[in-house]
A and B are shown apart, each in its own frame.
Chain A
Amino acid sequence: MKTLLTGNEAIARGAYEYGVSVAAAYPGTPSTEILENIAKYPEIYCQWSPNEKVAMEVGIGAAIAGARTIVTMKHVGVNVAADPLFTAAYTGVRGGLVLVSADDPGMHSSQNEQDNRNYAPFAKIPMLEPSDSQEAKDMVKLALDMSERFDTPVLLRITTRIAHSQSLVELGEPMERAVEPYKKDAKKYVMIPAYARTRRLFIEERDKQLADFSETVEVNRVEMRDPSFGIVTSGVSYQYVREAFPDASVLRLGMTHPLPKEKIADFAEAVDVLFVVEELDPYLEDRIRAMGIEVIGKSILPAYGELSVNLVKKQILAVLGVIGEPGEDASGEAAAASDSDSAEDSGACGCDCACDEAAACATQPGESSRAAEPFDAPIRPPVMCPGCPHRGVFYILRELRLVVSGDIGCYTLGTMAPLEAMDTCICMGASISGALGMEKANPDLARRLVSVIGDSTFLHSGVTGLMDIVYNGGTSTVLILDNSITAMTGHQHNPSTGQTLMGKEAPVVDFVALAKALGVKRVVEVDPLDLDRVKAVLKEEVAAPEPSVIITRRPCALIVKNTEKALECVGCKGCKACLRIGCPALSFDKATRKVVVNSALCTGCGLCAQLCMFDALRKAGE
């Protein structure tokens, strides 16, 4: 039976069909739905881990214990997990171990667009890249088989367009889920230098065998047609190439580390001109050139953002002399487009949100000549939800003119107008440790410095930063906005929510006790809907010359059933003070010069009412 699946659903299905027993991850767009879908198969033990390093380590442990295992994360998560990964490359596995890295060219929902293909040669592990959902599923099997056969973790690298595009997949029956019997093997799994040196040599041997394997593995496929030019490609770029040039000769690489060098050389030999079409880094191109083969790639295609059929077509045809000169400005086009569109709306929100769909699509470089100019439409950035209980905190931070060291998640949206309450946002957990660095560099900042972090991000990697503040004599204030869920990625559980991915009840982390245990003496809880109190507490804690933690606790508006009545605006004087809260349920009617509440959106949280000096915003009927 064929059914439409996203790449993420297909990978989950592959885990189910091909005997995976353990799956671990930290949610991150565009990888999140893999584990969410694995959770639908009760045969597989699956869990959200507090961060990607922990997930990787759970996976490594499971594989050493003999289970087929899958670990998934977004590209930046692999940076967090890199430490255990690089050594797992030495120990190898017993049960197959697959690491899925979901990269995000174009930064639909990420703070950078690093090309994680580079991790494969760096960590010395083999890599597979599917071009559609069917292959995503098939490659789970191939990866597991390779992992066990060559005794190595395998990187399965996808991108947003694979993860979130649906295409047809043939479903199969699940195989038996067997766990290898455990056997102690310290020389293999205890990486003290003496043992590690032996394993280091093993890797060299393994690499050779994998290189041979790469020459014959089916997923590295020559599609020989017109020999006047040939294209080497992988991943979703293959689809763009095939659509642009149905009759071209193509070497589609499904295994992109180690590369099948002979196959590439033969292919290069068989065509007159060789192109490489790949998104992001010149990963294939550099390696092919290093083989002494002439190849055209990034000189005509941008090394950032996403490719498209039209761009690939236009640039290659130009080189072939079919249509004028290659557009030297191919990269310029992409740059210009993204400057004008995304920088403002979503670029500003450099977080784990799919916020710039509009901008991303508008930035497709190399637009068809058939396309008309887009109309000039005001942007529609994602915003904190109407009724988000933590919105008011940003209003107060701005009002107090504090320096805000921000973090990843919904609260990155506090950057956007009218809240505009963030100074920095780097990566998961960096708010707290970054604030310590700011304070050490410029002690004058200390008395107006606050780091802002959500509950899930704090557990991911904020805890260690807070520990560092205490240990190294920092004095700034940490605000934990506890919405009791990992909201930005679509509401996943974490150790503070009381539930696991498999739906079991779980103990709840006590943030107050945790902060105290780390050595923080000043720990205050405050209701984020009480703005006066938030303001008073913030003033007091920021002024205190010692570390302090403020926990604002209210569940995400999207996970609670709301029973409050919407507000209505009666007797508005048109001062617009309430609009500075940035709630999408409020708008200003130019004709009447009054604020209007959209009762379909308003949750009745009452934050805006606290900004109104004329008491014009009230619960309907009161």
Chain B
Amino acid sequence: MKTGMNILLVGVGGQGTILASKILSHVALAQGWDVKMSEIHGMAQRGGSVVTQVRLGEKVYSPIIEPGEADIIVGFEKLEAYRWTHMLRPGGTMIVNDQKIEPLPVLIGAAAYPEGIIEAIGERVNSLTVVPALDLAAKLGNPKAANVVLMGVLASVMDIARETWDAALAARVPARFLELNQRAFAAGFDYRDGKEA
């Protein structure tokens, strides 16, 4: 981690990006890194586009990630991943939840939800993992845990010990949801392996 790392979490208000970013920053802190995290809140519940920027490293100044400088983007929704793809650095990693949430202009027919989003992203991004996070979470008993599934996938591409993530999960998730979230995390963590196998 000499060079630092920029991680962008993008999604739709209400998808649980905030919990995800809390887990991530907990992990970073446990590593002894400097961390800055920036998000604009207030509208989370009103369905707007939500972006959380997490920067880690020995010393972090700006809380903001510049376009073309994100090392990893986690898209909690396809269109949001697409909207922010330009933020990824060349060679960066992208994790996209294969979920579609139509924005109001699309719902009322004033705009179209772009076709072939995943393919378009795939043409630009070499390291792309598409995750059916909603299905995976639903299978475990609660689609709301999709955010934690995605954190599991993120963990699997980052060079941080699994125990650190487990500890962060235990610290940040309310006890009564912990078991479910641990399983959701594990499903995400093993997802890429499973695919390659």
Q: Which residue from chain B places its CB closest to the CB of A488 in the assembled complex?
A: B42
Which are the 9 A-B pairs with shortest beta-carbon distances?
Answer: A371-B68, A371-B67, A382-B48, A370-B68, A358-B49, A165-B63, A354-B42, A380-B103, A378-B111
Question: What are 15 A-B contacts with C-beta separation under 8 Å?
Answer: A109-B43, A161-B38, A164-B38, A164-B40, A168-B35, A236-B62, A357-B40, A367-B67, A377-B83, A380-B80, A381-B105, A383-B104, A488-B42, A489-B42, A584-B107
**Is B40 a contact partner of A375 (Cβ separation < 8 A)?**
no
A 587-608 to B, binary, CB cutoff 8 A, 1 in contact else 0: 1100000000000000000000
| A367, closest chain B residue (CB) | B67
CB-CB contacts below 8 Å: A146-203 with B: 160-161, 164-168
Per the bound structure, the CA–CA distance linking A164 and B48 in Å amounts to: 17
Please indicate the chain A residues that have their CB under 8 angstroms from the CB of B64 in the complex: 161, 240, 308-309, 364
Q: Which of A18-26, A399-407, A412-420 contacts B (4 or more CB under 8 A)?
A: A412-420
Q: Which of A209-231 contact B (CB under 8 A)?
A: none
B79 touches A380 (CB 8 A): yes
B114 beta carbon closer than 8 Å to chain A = yes
Does A616 interact with chain B (Cβ within 8 Å)? no
Identify which of residues 336-390 in chain A touch chain B, using a CB-to-CB cut-off of 8 Å.
Answer: 346, 352-355, 357-358, 360-361, 364, 367-385
Question: Is the CB of A500 closer than 8 A to any CB of chain B?
Answer: no
Chain A residues with Cβ below 8 Å from B114 are 375-378
Binary contact readout B13-41 vs A (1 if CB under 8 angstroms, 0 otherwise): 10000000000010001000011111111
B86 with A374: CB separation less than 8 A: yes
CB–CB B47/A584 < 8 A = yes
Point out the residue from B60, B66, B105 that lies within 8 Å of A378, measured CB to CB. Answer: B105
- Max count, chain A CB within 10 A of own CB: residue among B13, B40, B47, B69: B40
Q: Indicate if the CB atoms of A380 and B47 lie closer than 8 Å.
A: yes
Kindly report which residue of chain B lies nearest to residue A361, judged by CB atoms: B51
Instruction: Fill in one digit per residue for A1-37: 1 if any B CB lies within 8 Å of its CB, else 0.
Output: 0111000000000000000000000000110100000
Task: Decide yes or no whether A582 CB sits under 8 A from chain B.
Answer: yes
How does the 8 Å CB contact mask read for B47-73 relative to A, with 1 for contact and 0 for none? 111110000000011111011110000
Residue from the list B29, B38, B90, B111 in contact with A165, Cβ < 8 A: B38
Is A566 engaged at the interface, CB distance under 8 Å to the other chain?
no
In the bound complex, do residue B66 and residue A368 qualify as a contact, i.e. CB atoms below 8 Å apart?
yes
CB atoms of A109 and B40 under 8 A apart: yes
A32 and B105 CA atoms in complex are apart in Å by 30
Question: Once the chains bind, are A4 and B43 in contact (CB under 8 Å)?
Answer: no
The one of B45, B60, B61, B69 in contact with A370, judged by C-beta atoms closer than 8 angstroms, is B69
CB pair B25 A4 closer than 8 Å = yes
User: Could you say which of B37, B66, B88 contacts A4, with CB atoms under 8 Å apart?
Assistant: B37
User: A370-B90, A383-B46 given as contacts; is B107 within 8 A of A243 (CB)?
Assistant: no
Q: Which residues of A contact B88 (CB under 8 A)?
A: 372
CB of B191, distance to nearest CB on chain A (Å): 24
List residues of B (96-147) whose CB comes within 8 Å of A's CBs. 102-114, 120, 124
Q: Closest CB of chain A to B24's CB: distance in Å?
A: 11
Q: B192 in the interface, Cβ–Cβ < 8 Å?
A: no
Nearest B residue to A558 by beta-carbon distance?
Answer: B45
Question: What chain A residues lie within 8 Å of B84 (beta carbons)?
Answer: 361, 374
Cβ-neighbour of B40 out of A108, A373, A418 (below 8 A): A108
In the complex, whether A579 has a CB less than 8 A from a CB of chain B is yes
Closest B residue, CB atoms, query A581: B108
Whole-angstrom CA separation of A243 from B60 in the bound complex? 8
Are A382 and B40 interface neighbours, CB within 8 A?
Answer: no
Q: Are B102 and A587 closer than 8 Å at their CB atoms?
A: yes
Assess whether B48 is in contact with A355, with CB atoms less than 8 Å apart.
Answer: yes
A558, B51: Cα distance in complex, Å: 22
0/1 per residue, A470-492, Cβ < 8 Å to B?
00000000000000000011100
The answer on a CB contact under 8 Å between A357 and B51 is yes
Complex Cα gap A501–B133 (Å)? 38
Question: Which partner residue on chain A sits nearest B63 by CB separation?
Answer: A165
Contact call B68/A239, Cβ cutoff below 8 A:
no
Whether A371 contacts B86 in the complex (CB less than 8 A), given A240-B61, A377-B79, A582-B108, comes out as yes
In the complex, the answer to whether B105 meets A379 with C-beta atoms within 8 Å is yes
Contact between A364 and B46, CB atoms less than 8 A apart: no
Among A32, A368, A378, chain B packs the most CB atoms within 10 A around the CB of A378
Measured CA separation A355–B66 after assembly (Å): 20
With A380-B103, A417-B110 as known contacts, state yes or no: A375 contacts B67, CB within 8 Å: no
Q: Which of A227-277 contact B (CB under 8 A)?
A: 236, 239-240, 242-243
- A sample of 8 more A-B contacts (CB under 8 A), given A355-B48, A372-B88, is A160-B40, A352-B42, A354-B42, A378-B113, A380-B79, A385-B45, A418-B108, A587-B102
Chain A, 109-143, CB within 8 A of any chain B CB: 109, 132
What's the minimum C-beta distance from B75 to chain A, rounded to whole angstroms? 11
Give A427 to B34 CA distance when docked, in angstroms: 40
A413 near B46: Cβ-Cβ < 8 Å: yes
Contact with B along A296-328 (1 / 0, CB 8 A): 000000000000111000000000000000000
Cα of A165 to Cα of B64 in the assembled complex, Å = 9
Q: Of B36, B43, B51, B103, which contacts A355 at CB under 8 A?
A: B43
Residue contact A166 to B107, C-beta cutoff 8 Å: no
Please give, as numbers and ranges, the residues of chain B lying within 8 Å of A376 by CB-CB distance: 114
Query: CB-nearest residue of chain A relative to B28?
Result: A4
Contact A372 B40 (CB under 8 A): no
Report the minimal beta-carbon distance from A104 to chain B, rounded to whole angstroms.
10
A440: interface (CB < 8 Å): no
Expressed in whole angstroms, the Cα–Cα distance for A280 and B179 within the complex equals 48
Interface: A576 (CB within 8 A)? yes
Question: Once the chains bind, are A354 and B40 in contact (CB under 8 Å)?
Answer: yes
B46, A353: Cβ atoms closer than 8 Å: yes
User: Is B83 a contact of A358 with CB atoms below 8 Å?
Assistant: yes
Let me know if B87 and A371 touch, CB within 8 A.
Answer: yes
User: Which residues of A lie under 8 Å from residue B37 when comparing CB positions?
Assistant: 4, 165-167
**A73 contacts chain B at the CB level, 8 A cutoff:** no
Q: Does B89 contact A (CB under 8 A)?
A: yes
Complex Cα spacing A164 to B63, Å: 10
A586 at the interface (CB under 8 A from B): yes
Is the CB–CB distance between A357 and B38 below 8 Å? no
C-alpha gap A588/B25 in the complex (Å): 40
Determine the chain A residues whose CB is within 8 A of the CB of B25 once the complex forms.
Answer: 4, 166
Quick one: closest B residue to A579, CB to CB?
A: B108
The interface residues of chain A lying within 8 Å CB-to-CB of B50 are: 357
Let me know if B63 and A29 touch, CB within 8 A: no
Q: Verify if B182 is at the interface (C-beta below 8 Å from A).
A: no
Chain A residues contacting B29 (CB-CB under 8 Å) are 2-4, 168
A417 CA / B34 CA spacing, docked (Å): 43
Q: Please indicate the chain A residues that have their CB under 8 angstroms from the CB of B110 in the complex.
A: 417-418
Contacts of B66 in A (CB 8 A): 308-310, 364, 367-368, 371
CA distance A587 to B111 in the complex (A): 12
| CB < 8 Å neighbour of B35 from A167, A384, A418, A579 | A167
Are B103 and A379 in contact (CB-based, < 8 A)? yes
Chain A residues with Cβ under 8 A from B82's Cβ?
A: 375, 377
B12 within 8 A of A: yes
Residues in chain A near residue B51, CB distance under 8 A: 357-358, 361
Docked-complex contact A354 and B41, CB < 8 angstroms: yes
Candidates B43, B90, B109, B111; contact of A382 at CB < 8 Å: B43
